[in-house]
A and B are shown apart, each in its own frame.
Chain A
Amino acid sequence: MSNKNTNFSTSRRRLLKGLGMVGLLPAIPTIAANTSGHAGHVIVVGGGFGGATAAKYIKRGNPKIDVTLIEPNSTFYTCPFSNLVLAGERSLDSIGHSYEELKSVFGVNVIHAFAEDIDGVAHKVTLSNGSVLSYDRLLLSPGIDMRWNAIEGYDEAASEKAPHAWKAGNQTLLLRKQLEDMEDGGTFVMSVPADPFRCPPGPYERASLVAHYLKQHKPRSKVLILDSKDNFSKQGLFTSAWKDIYGDMIEWVGVSGDGRVVRVDADKREVETEFGTLHSASALNIIPPQKAGFIADRAGVTNESGWVPVNPNTFESQQVADIYVVGDATLAAPMPKSGFAANTQGKVAAAAIVASLAGITAPDPYWANTCYSLVNPDYGISVAGVYKVEDNQIITVPGSGGLSAADASLEIRQAEAAYAVGWYEAITQDTWGTQY
């Protein structure tokens, strides 16, 4: 892993200063390593923010538990900061993370394969390499799948021509290429789905950073956001920053202005909206409606919404015993579908799994979340919240969190951009690394 900013202690300090969050990490009961016996086998499916965190924290909670992590890719590219890659401000390598430290330092058994099926009754997982593994507890953090064809004409093949770039890696590079190939004076068109979807402020950060690139390299170009909603995360902050920094380069059209895209022609790079307006694009980014990763369906833990209802105290499935689900795949609102949320949920589920295998009660959970967005690389804004369980539902702790001030100085925006970098270093270390 290589990073622009490798001063971890500084970034850690910045993060803590920015959030005052050291006390917010859920406590994991550390089980005194038993001298003998089988402490149980946990399979974790998905080595992203939720799954890698859970695998590591189960091992930290009780090293005697066997933990097997199933993840097809040997390098995980984070969606956080992938908008900087898109804008040419970072390399794809700099947002790649390997599983080496989980293996060598924490003793997680990592298998690079795809989980294809789950039998919750028999407690078995079938892998793409043909093997069948048994578990005592299963944790799924499969992230999202796209709802192909929810928008007419937008299927997996179309996503090669009109990338979603809503999973980082090759998709990010495809969209980057379209942006690089775009002529000066062209339009970057982005279609944004209705809630709920992965990373509510993500599309608007992307629009900002695309504009940042265009302003320097293709200043006559435009960014057009066609939205299926009438309001969006940090709207006031984004809108006024766009005006200040990018003039009228970014245009946002909400659902009531005919912003909902209903048809895509990926070959022609053309979209049609609900009331029949056609827009043609030089670069076309379709962020389609989403659902829990398909393996959640196979496990029988999703409901009619396509997402996974969980017991908020433990993140165990409401539908199938011994299966825990965290991250974007879950119905955890008011917690957003963010990497930060997936990471803290992974810790809560890890604590619950360690406790349940030891036959003790899990500690009361609480979670924190901060979503930083960069309007340009030196201009950050954020929204934060702290969450707890009340009446068996997750709620926002009254009075917690909030938005960046609307009238903050440029120095504060700059400091928040630095905190965002600190946040990134800290969370990726906390998830895949050993630094903290």
Chain B
Amino acid sequence: MSVRSILAAFALVSCLPAIAQTTNDWQRVAPLAQAVNSEVVLSKGIDITLPLVAENGAAVPLRVNFDTSQLAESEFIRSIRVFSSGNPNAEVIDFHFEAPFSRIELSTRIRLSESQKVFVLAESNQGRQWLSQRDVRVTVSGCLMTGDDSVDAAVMSSPRIALPRNARSGEAAEVRTLINHPMETGFRETAAGEVIPQQLVESLTIKQNDQPILLVKFHTGTSANPFVSAFLDEVDNLLFRWEDQLGEHIEEKP
């Protein structure tokens, strides 16, 4: 997988003392500071599930729940964006909702190069914003050294979609999806010292009845073989479309 050797190096980085904390940590994460537009950022309402200690920073399971009961009558969530304080590039993954979702519960797998903070920023169609953060300690467990440094071909393959086995109509149900791709960060070098060029899957668009309902943007902070799950209000007539940086795309129906 693409970040193994980076992680080997990061095993040492994570030993450095944690940077002193301030209340406004997020202001030091440039893309996040830019994304925060309103004066008032609400701190409650987003629930982030991450391990306290991640033994493999290459694929850290992340779950984000947003309590939609706090939204006003015609208000709905437009975007959920994830940032990190310590990765070489702070952007991790973005979810853009093209339609109102009654249940916002997302999961994915992210890369954390070292012990750091993970931020989740939610924004509604009325411009309200919510921001939450979690600390994650990343240590590469001794016995987890893999001794493998292969470079995988940067092509998308084997898209997979799982619909819930017993979805009931009128109730949001969890849909999972995955595509194989190494998500080369551009930060990694071969044994000979050559930089392996960046190659990412850029996006996943989920369409329903030909209309996009969810757009997911992947960044260097998204794990190889990007995985996403979300609760959809309807699971009929879905189409999944992935696009990579080379302009290639793959479409798949459940």
Q: Are A195 and B160 in contact (CB under 8 A)?
A: no
Closest-CB distance, B240 to chain A (whole angstroms): 13
A303 and B148 within 8 A (CB) = no
Asked if residues B59 and A336 are in contact (CB atoms below 8 Å), the reply is no
Would you list which residues of chain A between 294 and 351 have a CB under 8 Å from chain B?
303-305, 331, 333-336, 338
Q: Is B11 an interface residue (CB 8 A)?
A: yes
Residues of A within 8 A of B148 (CB): 231, 235-236, 239
Minimum CB distance partner of A258 in chain B: B160
Cα(A229)–Cα(B1), bound, Å:
11
> Which of B17, B147, B160 has its CB near the most chain A CB atoms (within 10 A)?
B147
| Contact of A200 with B147 at beta-carbon distance under 8 Å, contacts A195-B56, A305-B51 already known | no
**Within 8 Å of chain B (Cβ to Cβ): is A396?**
yes
User: What residues on A are CB-neighbors of B4 within 8 Å?
Assistant: 231
- B146 touching A334, Cβ below 8 Å: no
CA A275 – CA B180 in complex, angstroms? 13
Q: How far is the CA of A428 from the CA of B12 in the complex (A)?
A: 32
| Cα–Cα distance between A196 and B145 once the two chains are bound (Å) | 14
- How many Å from the CB of B154 to the closest CB on chain A? 15
- Cα A147 to Cα B17 in complex, Å, equals 34
Q: B235 contacts the other chain (Cβ, under 8 Å)? A: no
Q: How far is the CA of A390 from the CA of B51 in the complex (A)?
A: 22
* Residues in chain B near residue A185, CB distance under 8 A: none
Whether A194 touches B145, Cβ cut-off 8 Å, given contacts A231-B56, A257-B180, A275-B178, is no
A384: chain B residues at CB < 8 Å are 142
Check A336 against B11 for contact (C-beta < 8 Å): no
Complex alpha-carbon distance, A201 and B146, angstroms: 10
Contact digits for A241-260, partner B, Cβ 8 Å, 1 yes 0 no: 00000000000000111100
Question: Which of B11, B15, B52, B147 lies in contact with A331, CB distance below 8 A?
Answer: B52
Q: Given the complex of chains A and B, what is the CA–CA distance between A304 and B137 in angstroms? A: 15
CB distance from A159 to the nearest CB of B (A): 24
Shortest Cβ distance from B30 into chain A, in angstroms? 27
Q: Give the distance in Å from the alpha carbon of A147 to the alpha carbon of B225 in the complex.
A: 27
The interface bits of chain A over 169-195 (1 if a CB of B lies within 8 angstroms of the residue's CB, else 0) are 000000000000000000000000011
Asked whether B72 is an interface residue with its Cβ less than 8 Å from the other chain, the reply is no
Q: How far is B13's CA from A396's CA once the two chains are assembled, in angstroms?
A: 11
Q: By the criterion CB–CB under 8 Å, are A383 and B224 in contact? A: no
Contact indicator A335/B146 (Cβ below 8 Å):
no
A327 to chain B, nearest CB (A): 15
| Interface assignment of B120: CB less than 8 Å from any CB of chain A | no
Residues 224-246 of chain A: 1 if any B CB is under 8 Å from the residue's CB, otherwise 0?
Answer: 00000111111111010000000
B interface, size bucket: 35 or more
Interface size for A (C-beta < 8 A) is 48
A18-26, A43-51, A398-406 - the one binding chain B: A398-406
- Given the complex of chains A and B, what is the CA–CA distance between A305 and B50 in angstroms? 10
Contact B178 A232 (CB under 8 A): no
Other-chain residue from A234, A331, A369 in contact with B146 (beta carbon distance below 8 A): A234
Give the docked Cα–Cα distance between A387 and B22 (Å). Answer: 30
Residues from chain A with Cβ under 8 Å of B224 in the complex: 230, 256
Residues of A within 8 A of B139 (CB): 333-334, 395
How many angstroms between the C-alpha atoms of A121 and B205 in the bound complex?
Answer: 55
B146 touches A235 (CB 8 A): yes
The answer to whether the Cβ of A270 comes within 8 Å of any Cβ in the partner chain is: no
- Among A196, A304, A385, A401, the residue within 8 A (CB) of B55 is A196
Asked if A333 contacts B59 (CB within 8 A), the reply is no
A371 in contact (CB, < 8 A) = yes
Q: Using known A-B contacts A231-B4, A235-B147, A275-B178, determine if residue A383 contacts B160 with beta carbons closer than 8 Å.
A: no
Closest chain-B Cβ to A35's Cβ sits at a distance in Å of 44
A335, B142: Cβ atoms closer than 8 Å: yes
Asked if A201 contacts B12 (CB within 8 A), the reply is no
Name the residue in A195, A274, A304, A398 with the highest tally of chain B Cβ atoms < 10 Å from its Cβ: A195
Known contacts A333-B141, A383-B145; decide if A194 and B61 are in contact (CB<8 Å): yes
Nearest-CB residue, chain B, relative to A338 = B143
Q: Are A274 and B59 in contact, with the CB atoms below 8 A?
A: no
Nearest-Cβ distance from residue B223 to partner chain A, whole angstroms: 8
Q: Is B176 an interface residue (CB 8 A)?
A: yes
Known: A195-B56, A275-B160, A398-B12. A234 touches B142 (CB 8 A): no
The complex places the Cα of A380 from the Cα of B160 at a distance, in Å, of 37
Is the C-beta of A411 less than 8 angstroms from some C-beta in chain B?
Answer: no
A391 to B178, alpha carbons, bound, how many Å?
39
Which A residues lie within 8 Å of B40 (CB)? none
**Residues of the B chain whose Cβ atoms lie less than 8 Å from the Cβ of A255:** 59, 225
Beta-carbon contact of B15 and A275 below 8 Å: no
Interface membership of chain B positions 144-161, coded 1 if the CB is closer than 8 angstroms to chain A and 0 otherwise: 111111000000001011
- Across the interface, do B1 and A195 meet the contact criterion of CB distance under 8 Å? no
Q: Is the CB of A369 within 8 A of B147?
A: no
* 1/0 contact string of B162-180 vs chain A (CB within 8 Å): 1000000000000010101
In Å, the complex CA distance between A303 and B59 comes to: 22
Decide: B15 and A371 in contact? CB cutoff 8 A.
no
Residues in A with CB closer than 8 Å to B58 are 230-231
| Cα separation A201 to B162 with both chains bound (whole Å) | 30
Q: Of all chain A residues, which has the CB nearest B177?
A: A275
CA distance A331 to B141 in the complex (A): 11
- Bound-state CA distance A234–B161 (Å) is 31
Contacts A233-B144, A236-B147 given; indicate if A390 touches B15 (C-beta within 8 A): yes
Q: Is the pair A334, B162 in contact by a Cβ cutoff of 8 Å? A: no
The answer to whether A256 touches B178, judged by C-beta atoms less than 8 angstroms apart, is yes
With CB as the reference atom, state the residue of chain B lying closest to A341: B142
- B53 touches A (CB below 8 Å): yes
A237 to B140, CA, bound (A): 18
8 Å CB contact of B144 from A200, A305, A387, A398: A200
Give the top 4 A-B pairs by smallest Cβ distance, nearest first. Answer: A256-B225, A236-B148, A336-B143, A385-B142
Can you give 26 contacting A-B residue pairs, CB < 8 Å? Answer: A194-B61, A196-B55, A200-B144, A230-B58, A231-B1, A232-B146, A235-B146, A239-B148, A255-B59, A256-B180, A258-B160, A274-B162, A275-B160, A276-B162, A303-B52, A334-B55, A334-B139, A334-B141, A334-B142, A336-B141, A387-B142, A390-B15, A391-B17, A391-B18, A393-B137, A402-B145
